[in-house]
Amino acid sequence: MIVSYNEIQNLCRKAFCGAGFELGDAEDAAEMVAWMQCHGLGGLAALHRGLNFLLEEEPDRLPEIVYKDSDLAILDGHGQSVLRCGSLAAELCFAKARARGLAVVKIRRCHNRQLIMGYLARIASRGMNVTAFWRNAQYPLNEQVVGFRAGKSVPEIRVYAVHDVPEENAPNDGITLIMANHVDLLPSMRSDYQYELLASHNESSLSAFEDDAFAQGIEVDESRWGELKRLASRVLVEATEASRHGAGAGQRDDD
């Protein structure tokens, strides 16, 4: 089925509210998913893969800064979705890079990591060079590198298969963010270990996909769309119950 960017954003926002997100966080998370979907990067598929984990998370458990100095910060995501900790990490790295010229922020113990790309697009639009990379625990181990040039709304993306990685690289459940206000940080790979390029996306191809998405609509999987509708319906049920308890005349006849 074909839907618009606004339809994806609106339904995702309601679905995230149904999952226990505060309204502002739900709007941010919905924008991240819609951004990926309209650039052909499978935002809804990424959300679907992590949805069961997302629904089991504790909404009030916030990411924790476990180390911080002038140039580096490390956050513990407590095993939750990057949609709950990505905004804090990106904003923290941006603030440090603005002050110091270059900064690194690491997020430990998080999932749905692909969905951080929308947050990084927002940061890059403010004139910051951004690179992020993370590894997926599979064999061969995959490493994804995403780089935004300052002022650009789309990244360069590379996905590599890395062979013969030493044991100390496990577990692979984190993200590293690097931001600089004066040098490009486009993705590349240099390693003493054997690796191969599995996939790449350049700025022009992603921009072209975005243009088509806004002109012709965005194709989505009907079953995943229905899944989001069912999650969004939780908000309607809760609202109906609240309305029922508050129904009736007020103290004045013209309430």
pLDDT tens-digit series, residues 178-202? 999 887 766 555 555 556 888 889 9
Same structural domain, 44 and 69: no
E strands, 11-60, are none
Q: CATH number, domain at 145? A: 3.30.1370.60
Q: Per the domain annotation, does 251 fall within a domain?
A: no
pTM given for the model: 0.85
Q: Per the domain annotation, does 107 fall within a domain?
A: yes
Q: Per the domain annotation, does 14 fall within a domain?
A: yes
Residue position matching structure tokens 């069961």: 52
Same structural domain, 73 and 97: yes
Same structural domain, 164 and 68: yes
Distances in Å between the Cα of 120 and the Cα atoms of 16, 25, 35, 59, 233 are 20, 16, 11, 23, 30
Count of structural domains, the chain: 2
Same structural domain, 137 and 181: yes
Same structural domain, 105 and 164: yes
- Tell the burial category of 250 from Cβ atoms under 10 Å away from its Cβ (0-12, 13-18, 19+): exposed
Q: Per the domain annotation, does 252 fall within a domain?
A: no
pLDDT of residue 52: 87
| φ and ψ of 163, to 5 deg | -105, 155
pLDDT tens-digit series, residues 114-144? 999 999 999 999 999 999 999 886 677 888 9
Same structural domain, 32 and 127: no
Domain housing 45: 1-60+204-244
- Quote the mean pLDDT of the chain: 86
Give Cβ neighbours of residue 56 (< 8 Å, ≥ 6 apart): none
Same structural domain, 14 and 139: no
Same structural domain, 139 and 189: yes
